[in-house]
Amino acid sequence: MMALKLTTLLCSTALAALALSGSASAHDPSGKGGLPVAYSKRMMAAMKSLARMDDSDEAKGIYSKLVQWPPTYAKLRVCFMAGSDEINSKVAEVATAWTDDAKMSIKLDFGKAGSPRRCDPNGRESQIRVAYEKPGYWSLLGQNGVVYAKQEEATLNLEGFDKATDMAAFDKPEVQGVILHEFGHALGFLHEHQSPLSDCSNQFNWDYIVKYLEGPPNNWDEATIKFNMAPYAGDDLKLMATDFDPQSVMLYYFPAEYYLKGKDSSCYIQSSNNTISPTDRSTIEFMYPADRGERLKNFADSKAQFMKIWDKAADSGTRDVGLNFPEAFFGSKGVAADEE
């Protein structure tokens, strides 16, 4: 959980300066845009509750898997809060690359071809709700989109993409990269540089990074910086993580100054990755395997691990009654494959 909140923050401006969205500086994880404060507050409160129950590395690994969509979701209903049909269709077309894959058991469902689904807070639940008007590019991670945000709230933002006048903009690799990166988060992906197997943390020039991000326009405090930049903890996460993948669409571009060895660092990339890498592909197939039995088993294992912590917390009096975690993360209704 710790990892979740700031993942979204960083993303917010990671790939700015696209043709579509004005002239923000390209690699400026700034305070300009990020996860809405209201969501952060809810998540921070939940993270505190989890930490109070169990703050071990093992527990953190278990918590990190809560973002994965349970097997009751054969697909995710995506809706748009704004945008023309033409533009929303383009976003849908690009994002669908993630789940256009016979080896996995989750799909992105955008509704009718040619007129993608519009968000309706009073209608059936949509799991991914796309907005364009908020600052930055960001997405809640996986199931967090239905736990920490209400139906009338966006879960994924692509600032200004609805202003595109030329549809050729969506053929640009960097525009496709933003869409794929954010939908990667919506499917439950974390940032590659924060993978516990990445070694990027050791290669970072922390003095430079802290100094840079502490200054305007970010004005981040040290905890926020560590949160964004340091590796995710968790034994289980190590099992889930792949070897560092420099081609991942989830890898964040940082300037050479961020690294002790500059451009010679193995984490340095010249520009953002804009396509789903083979390792991204195998990771998502691992998270949502085509074999339904396997997906059910993984889910049951995660639930059992979490329930151990939850039950123990009742005994020790450290359970917070504010959020019913088992209900929120394991009690979802889901969406069947043949549902509209």
Binding site for Zn ion (CB under 5 A): 11
CB of 245 to Zn ion, least distance (A): 14
Residue 227 vs 325, nearer CB to Zn ion: 227
Which long-range contacts (C-beta less than 8 Å, at least 24 apart) are formed by 283-287?
283/189, 283/242, 284/98, 284/101, 284/104, 284/187, 284/189, 285/101, 285/103, 285/104, 286/240, 287/68, 287/104, 287/187, 287/188, 287/240
- What is the spatial distance between Cα 260 and Cα 238, in angstroms, rounded to a whole number? 25
DSSP-based three-state secondary structure for 118: strand
**CB-based contacts of 71, cutoff 8 Å, min separation 6:** 105, 292, 295, 296, 299, 334
CB of 21 to Zn ion, least distance (A): 16
Contact 154, 131 (CB under 8 A): yes
CB of 316 to Zn ion, least distance (A): 35
CB of 324 to Zn ion, least distance (A): 29
CB of 278 to Zn ion, least distance (A): 20
Residue 11 vs 24, nearer CB to Zn ion: 11
Comparing every residue's Cβ against Zn ion, the nearest one is 11
CB of 91 to Zn ion, least distance (A): 16
**CB-based contacts of 104, cutoff 8 Å, min separation 6:** 284, 285, 287, 288, 289, 290
Residue 104 vs 140, nearer CB to Zn ion: 140
Give the alpha-carbon dihedral of 232, 4, 163, 172, to 10 degrees.
Answer: 30
Residue 11 vs 43, nearer CB to Zn ion: 11
Residue 78 vs 250, nearer CB to Zn ion: 250
Q: Is the dihedral of CA 205, 191, 96, 158 positive or negative?
A: negative
- What is the spatial distance between Cα 153 and Cα 30, in angstroms, rounded to a whole number? 22
Residue 10 vs 313, nearer CB to Zn ion: 10
- What is the spatial distance between Cα 340 and Cα 327, in angstroms, rounded to a whole number? 24
CB of 271 to Zn ion, least distance (A): 15
CB of 45 to Zn ion, least distance (A): 22
Distance from the Cα of residue 295 to its chain's centroid: 20
- What is the spatial distance between Cα 155 and Cα 150, in angstroms, rounded to a whole number? 9
Read off the DSSP letter of residue 102. T
Residue 11 vs 175, nearer CB to Zn ion: 11
Residue 11 vs 140, nearer CB to Zn ion: 11
